[in-house]
Amino acid sequence: MSLLAAIRLPREILFGKGQRHVIATVAARLGRRALVCTDERFAATVAFAEIVAALEGASIDVLVHDRVQPDVPRDTVAVCVEAARDFAPDMVIGIGGGSCLDMAKCAALLISHGGQLQDYYGEFKVPGPTLPLIAVPTTAGTGSEVTPVAVISDPDRTMKVGISSPHLIAAAAICDPELTMTCPPALTAIAGADALTHAIEAFTAARRGTDPSLPQQHVFIGKSALTDHFALLAIKLLGRSLEKAYRSPADEDARADVMMGALAAGCAFGTAGTAAAHAVQYPVGALTHTAHGMGVATMLPYVMKYNRAAVAAEMAEIGLALGLDGKGRSTGEMADATIDEVGRLFAAIGITPTLARLGLAADKLDWTAEQALGIDRLIKNNPRPFDPAAMRGLIQAAYDGDLAACVM
């Protein structure tokens, strides 16, 4: 037997229109004192007021922290935790985009184990279970509601940093596509492109061998039959509905597809991991301050072209999931058509096509390549190896918009 697979997910995943109305029921099974992390925008909505009222109606005391900032600046977590200290919550509820969910994870971590966030950077640094977390996404992109990762901004570091541990996985993920109906088109596009990148990188990730200790040593262990199942589902749903949700924001079916796609992509990459597109985005994002989803999506077609020689068969499967007709096409032809379709879809929803147009300075290409190559947890997941020259060539191709130059 050569199969090795692992999957780490919440104990409960609830998906569907109106599921926000069961948050209080789920919370009542976890405790009686809830710290709720969200941002100012969502805190001012009728939907949020209804959720809080339902929690209080279920005899749950609520402390609201509604100052979550984009990319979760490190020191804001300590502010949240200090404000909650006397309240002594026995659960944390994150409601909002990926940053709100990551704040909730970090707050649960520090309330449970103390110390500073820096103590937990990297993999498997969280010593044990944290306060139970309920994750309620209001955007469809990061997949943080089901992943073992929290990403924050550290002012002492150039790039964002991650905390990766199975102990960060939410006890429950509650996904209600109605909560995404007010997302503006640009946010819908960036978040959905992030989700599609998650799914494609998870499906084309390297296979990391069959050592039974691999899942005990690494949070991300490469692709497997289990993660492939979720990745292909995500690709199918996002391929058929992301552009539709972007162009017709009131389309409930499209919104549900995109949210389910983001959820499924999170289920895939939360164990399989991501690869080179994400590795490049870390330094690019640090320099250009562009949205994470925009950066990874800008890079994805170039990374796919670079990886084509190693995973043409997987790319052909991706093409079929995206709805392309494979009849009469060879595997290589299908792989090329898939890369073209991803580029077409991203162009249709306004994804920036080059690193130059993202604002990356020409004199920062060498630094970007060096930094990306140094993110080993992502680079080792890429199906085709990189050396410094190959990474520098990829960065140059993405800067120039020269897809053909990625064939090295």
* pLDDT confidence of residue 159: 84
CB 63 within 8 A of CB 36: yes
Q: Averaged over 155-177, what is the pLDDT?
A: 94
Q: Report the DSSP beta bridge partners of residue 61.
A: 33
Which sign does the torsion angle of CA 292, 295, 301, 304 carry? negative
Tell me which DSSP letter residue 205 carries.
P
CB atoms within 10 A of CB 95: 30
CA-nearest of 136, 202, 145 to 169 is: 145
The DSSP bridge pattern shows strands 161-164 and 149-152 to be antiparallel
CB atoms within 10 A of CB 44: 11
Query: Per-residue pLDDT tens for 192-248?
Result: 999 999 999 999 999 988 889 999 999 999 999 999 999 999 999 999 999 999 999
161-164: strand order across its sheet: 122-123, 161-164, 149-152
| pLDDT level of residue 146 (50, 70, 90 thresholds) | very high
Query: Per-residue pLDDT tens for 271-297?
Result: 999 999 999 999 999 999 999 999 999
Contacts of 325 (CB under 8 A, 6+ apart): none
| Degrees to nearest 5, angle at CA 230 with 226 and 232 | 110
Give the C-alpha separation, 305 to 311, whole Å.
Answer: 10
CA 312 to chain centre: 24
Give the C-alpha separation, 233 to 305, whole Å.
Answer: 22
pTM over 0.75: yes
* pLDDT confidence of residue 208: 85
Least confident of 90-99, 157-166, 316-325: 157-166
Contacts of 318 (CB under 8 A, 6+ apart): 200, 203, 204, 232, 235, 338
Q: What share of the chain has pLDDT > 70, as a percent?
A: 100
> Residue 1 above 50 pLDDT?
no
* pLDDT confidence of residue 2: 61
